[in-house]
Amino acid sequence: MFDFALLAVAAFVAGLVDAVVGGGGLIQIPAMFAMFPREVPATLLGTNKLAAMFGTSVAAVKYSRRVTVAWSTAAPAALAAFALSFIGAWTVTRVPGDFVRSLLPLILMAVAVYTYKKKDLGAVHAPAHSGMKERLLAMGIGAAIGFYDGFFGPGTGSFLIFLFVRFFGFDFLSASAAAKIVNVACNISALIWFGYSGHLLWQLGLLMAVCQIAGSLVGTRLALKHGSGFVRKLFLVVVGLLIVKTAFDTFKRLGW
């Protein structure tokens, strides 16, 4: 019972953080692996997707009511992410993801340094693309992040926010809103495969989903109340924690 209480708390905090800047998997996935060390990794990842889908969906609806979502960017990215997330989920049930995990700290470090140095990054919403160029770029980003999300997942929302800010000229709040749309598509797609292949703990996933929804409501409210500046600061904190966590996991795996 105590284990489930800890997972419920982890899911609430993950939902809160994920609603603002992504990265909820940083909290939820390690908690699940710690509580169920003998469970098949793909099953824990699938269960995480089930909980995250509910939390992210609630955040997406809340954002869409208060922030103008750039559907011309979000929709093509979501479609591509949906297709590739399924392939990523299929892949993770077939091959280990050690190589991707090893690269993650370096990629996150580059994202953090770039965001920190560019003080005005994401301060103003000034979309940089339109038409076919916008759609193709969105599909490329959606495909790459979608595959990563299905294959591994932690930091997906943070990566999406950074890419929408850096390459599309969005402010952090608008980027977070668009990222939620894409993230929902990723979660649904991956869930189709995880569910079909039996890699889901339904009761645990639904319990954590309730807690994720509660956290997501709180996180979305904070983001909408405090705006892009707040989102940027929390983004840097979460990415920093992701760097520490993924680097620690890599060193531990290598036996250092």
Distances (CA, A) of 68 to 72, 161, 173: 11, 15, 10
pLDDT value at 19 more than 70: yes
153 within 8 A of 102, measured Cβ to Cβ: no
d(CA 244, CA 180): 24
Give me the domain span that covers residue 219.
2-254
pLDDT at 20: 86
- Rounded distance between C-alpha atoms, residue 156 and residue 238, angstroms: 12
The total number of structural domains that make up the chain: 1
Residues whose CB is less than 8 angstroms from the CB of residue 187 and which lie 6 or more positions away in sequence, other chains included: 49, 52, 53, 56, 85, 149
- Overall size of the chain counted in residues: 256
Q: Please give the structure tokens belonging to residue 34.
A: 């710690």
Among 28, 12, 10, 20, smallest CA distance to 158 is for: 20
pTM of the model: 0.83
End-to-end CA distance of the chain: 35
Q: Is the pLDDT of residue 109 over 60?
A: yes
Confidence of residue 104 (pLDDT cuts 50, 70, 90): low
Reduced to 3 states, what is the DSSP secondary structure of residue 153?
coil
Q: Which of 33-37, 226-230, 252-256 has the lowest mean pLDDT?
A: 252-256
Percent of the chain whose pLDDT exceeds 70: 88
